[in-house]
Chains A and B, each alone.
Chain A
Amino acid sequence: MSARLSLLGITRSFPGTTVLDGCDLELQIGEVVSVRGASGTGKSTLLNIAGLLDTPNAGSIAIDGTVVPSKASAGLRAGLRAKHIGFVFQGFHLLPEFNVLENVLLPVRANGGNEADRQRADALLDRVGLNQRRKAAVQTLSGGEAQRVALCRALVRKPPLILADEPTGNLDPHTADEVLQLLLELAREDGSSVLLVTHDPRIAASADRRSELRDGRLHDLD
C-alpha cells in the first residue's frame, strides 16, 4: 500500500543558504506526524513543499503514490491541492470579506462542491460549536473561534492530507489544547493523515510519530 505523502531527498535553497538538505518523510494513511524544530530551521518551507505551494530544488514528492512532476504547472499543483490537501495555518487566513459559513465553504465553491458538502460545512460548524455564529463576520471572532473556522475550512471536503503549520501558535494553552484535539479527532474520523509542524514539544507529543528538523534534515524522535 502506497504512502499518503512521500517526500524523498527534498532540497530547498535560498540565496546564500540551504534550508532543506535532502529531507525524507513518509506519511501513512491516517497517520499523524509532527515535525518539531527551532525557528528558522525550515519547518514551514517543508510544509509549503509538501503542500505544493513551493517547489524544491531537488527531490521528489508523491501523493497517494502519484509522483508530482518537478516541472508541474501552477495550475496542476493547484488542482492537486484542491483534491488532496487541506491547510491549517497559524495565522488562520480567513477572508474578511466573507462570513463564517462562507469562509468554510470556500473550498466547496472553488472546487464545485455539492449539497452534501454544504451539509458537512453545517455539521462541522456545529461540531466545533460555531453554528450559532455561522453568519458572523470573521473579524468579530476570537483567536480560538477563528482557528476553529479555519479547521472547518480545511476539513470541509474531507481531504486525505491535512497540513497544519503551528495551528495553535496564536492561541492560549487552554484553547490550543481544544483546537488540537478537535483537529486530531476530526482528522481521525475522516481517515485523513496529518502533518503537524510546531515548535511546541507538548503539541508535537500528541502525534503518532514525532520527528525533528535539524541541519536541513529530518530526524525521527520515536
Chain B
Amino acid sequence: MLVPYFALRYLRRRRMAWLALAAVALTVWVSVLVLGVMEGWVSFTRVQVRASESDISLRSSEGILASRAVDTILTKHPSVVAAAPFIATPAPMVSEDRSGSKRMIPIHAQGVDWQADRAINRLNDAWLHPRPGLELSAPPLEADERGTGFITQDCRAWLPLAGLETLGGLAGLPVPLPPRASRFRAGLIVGRELMYEQGGRLRMGSPVAITLPDQKGGRLGSVRLEISDTVGTGVLEIDRYAAIMPLASAQRLTDQDDRRHRNGGPKVDGYRMRVSPDADLEQVRSELLSDSDLVSAVQGSRARIDLWHEIRGNAVRLLEINLRTLRIVMIVLQALCIFTVAAVFSTLVAEKRHDIGVLIGIGVHPWRVIAIFLLASTLACVGGGLLGWGAGWGALALINPLSEWTGWTLFPQQVFYTSEAPIHFDWRTPASFIALQAGIGLVSALIPAIRAGLINPVDTIREAG
C-alpha cells in the first residue's frame, strides 16, 4: 500500500501536482467543449439531411409507372418500412403581386403523395407551418394564417358548407349556399426561406403558375396553384427552393399524367423509401436491384437506387472532415500536456529528493519509488481528465441558456440557419481523452520517476546533514 499512499499524499499536499491536474483539466475541457459543438453540428446536419432525404430512393430519368404494384414490391422487402412516389424537377415559378406585376422565381418543384410522404417521415408535423422570417424559433403559423397542407384557406373554409349542402341534398332539403367565387386551385407548400426572401410578393393565397419548358422551345406542362402552407426542413438549400405540390399536379407539370399516357398510365420520377434503422442500406439496395419482380415492374426505364448519402451526403461529409481535423488538433493539444506534466513531476522529484533518499534508505525498492511517481502522474492526468469532462459537459449544457440570457449569439441564425448551437454529448469523446491522458501521465512522468528511483540515499542523507 506504500505506492498509492505516497502517490495520493503527494497529489494532495503538493501545489505543483495541482498544476498538472489543472493543465490536463483545461485541455480536456477545451477539447470536450469544441468537439461537443462540432459533433453537434455533424449530428444536426446528418439528422436534417436524413430527414429531408429518404433513406434510399428508386429513380429513373424515364419515369416509373405509378402503380400500386411497384409500391407493393418495394414494401414487401423486410427492411423497407414504407415507400412514397415522387416527382422532382427544377422549374421557374411565376407569381403575380397585388399590383399585377409578375416575377419569376426559381424553385425546386416536388410532387408528393401526402399520406405516403408522411409515412416515410417527410412532411412531418415538425416541418409544417413554420413562420417565414429570421427568427427560427418563432412559433409556427396559426391555423387562420395558412391553409392545411395542399388544402387552401378558401377551400378549407368552403368544405364544411359543402358538407352541409351534401347532407341537405341527401335529406331532400336543399341548403342555399353563397356562390363560389371561382374554382379552387390545388395548394402549394413553399419553403419558409423562399417565402421570406420574396418579402411581401408571396403571401398565403397568392396564385402562382409553374411552367416547365421542353427542349423545343415549347412547354412540357403547366400548372396553376395557390400558396397554401409553408415547410421548413432546417436545411437552408431545401427551404430556399422547396415548392411541394400534389403528385397529380406535378405529373401534369412534367407531362407524366394519365392524359398523354393512356396505355401506360401515369408515371413518377421514382419512389422514396424508409428502411428500418438497423438495416444495411447497401444490402437493401443490392437485394432490391436483384428483385426480379421489381426489375420487371420498372422494365424499360433506366432505374437506379441511390442511398441518402449519395444524394445529399456532401454536407455531412464536409463537416465530418472538419470534425476529424479538429480531433487531430485536440489530440495534439492533449499531447502538449506531456511537457507540463513532465516539468511538474521533475520539480516534484527534485523537491522530494530527501524523502526519496529516506525511503530507499529504509528499504523501499527503487521500483516502488518509480511506481509512486508514475501512479501520481497517472492519477493527476486521469483526475484532470475527469474534471475536464465534467467542466466540458457543464459548459456545453450552458452554451444555449447563457447565449439566450446574455444575448450573445455563438452561431448567428442568419448565417448558420439554426436557432441555437447544436450540442452533442458523446461519452466516448471525453473517455478517449481520459484514456489518452492516462497514457500521457505515464509517459511524461517516466523520466522524472526513473531519476527518483536512481537517487542515491547516501547523497541525500549527506545533503540534508
Interface residues of A (CB under 8 A from B): 44, 48, 51, 53-54, 74-75, 78-83, 85, 87, 89-91, 93, 95, 97-98, 106-107, 109-112, 153
State how many angstroms separate the Cβ of B266 from the closest Cβ of chain A: 87
Q: Does B415 contact A (CB under 8 A)?
A: no
* CB-CB nearest in chain B for A94: B358
State how many angstroms separate the Cβ of B370 from the closest Cβ of chain A: 11
Interface centre among A44, A51, A74, A90 (most CB of B within 10 A): A74
Q: Does B332 contact A (CB under 8 A)?
A: no
| With A91-B465, A97-B355, A106-B359: A78-B458 Cβ-Cβ less than 8 Å | no
Alpha-carbon gap, A98 to B6, bound state (A): 10
Interface centre among A54, A106, A153 (most CB of B within 10 A): A106
Q: Is the CB of A110 within 8 A of B2?
A: yes
State how many angstroms separate the Cβ of B349 from the closest Cβ of chain A: 14
Contacts of B408 in A (CB 8 A): none
Alpha-carbon gap, A109 to B367, bound state (A): 15
Instruction: Count chain B residues whose beta carbon lies closer than 8 angstroms to a beta carbon of A.
Output: 26
Contacts of A74 in B (CB 8 A): 360, 365-366
Alpha-carbon gap, A93 to B10, bound state (A): 18
Q: Does B9 contact A (CB under 8 A)?
A: yes
| With A75-B367, A97-B9: A81-B1 Cβ-Cβ less than 8 Å | no
Contacts of B358 in A (CB 8 A): 93, 95, 106
Alpha-carbon gap, A48 to B458, bound state (A): 7
Interface residues of B (CB under 8 A from A): 1-2, 5, 9-10, 13, 354-355, 357-368, 457-458, 461-462, 464-465
| With A53-B457, A109-B5, A110-B359: A90-B364 Cβ-Cβ less than 8 Å | no
Count of A-B contacts judged by CB separation below 8 Å: 67
Which 7 pairs across A and B sit closest by C-beta, in order of nearness?
A82-B363, A81-B363, A110-B364, A91-B465, A109-B2, A75-B365, A78-B365
* CB-CB nearest in chain A for B356: A95
Q: Is the CB of B464 within 8 A of A93?
A: yes
| With A97-B13, A97-B355: A91-B362 Cβ-Cβ less than 8 Å | no
* CB-CB nearest in chain A for B10: A97
Contacts of A95 in B (CB 8 A): 355, 358
Contacts of B360 in A (CB 8 A): 74, 78
Interface centre among A75, A82, A93 (most CB of B within 10 A): A93
Contacts of A78 in B (CB 8 A): 360, 363-366
Q: Is the CB of B362 within 8 A of A106?
A: yes
Q: Is the CB of A53 within 8 A of B458?
A: yes
State how many angstroms separate the Cβ of A196 from the closest Cβ of chain B: 17
Contacts of A107 in B (CB 8 A): 362-363
Alpha-carbon gap, A80 to B365, bound state (A): 10
Contacts of B362 in A (CB 8 A): 81-82, 87, 106-107, 110, 153
State how many angstroms separate the Cβ of B44 from the closest Cβ of chain A: 51
Q: Which of A44, A54, A83, A97 contacts B363 (CB 8 A)?
A: A83
Beyond A85-B363, A93-B357, 7 additional pairs, beta carbon < 8 A: A44-B462, A53-B461, A75-B365, A93-B354, A106-B362, A109-B2, A111-B363
| With A75-B367, A97-B10: A90-B355 Cβ-Cβ less than 8 Å | no
Q: Which of A44, A48, A79, A91 contacts B464 (CB 8 A)?
A: A91
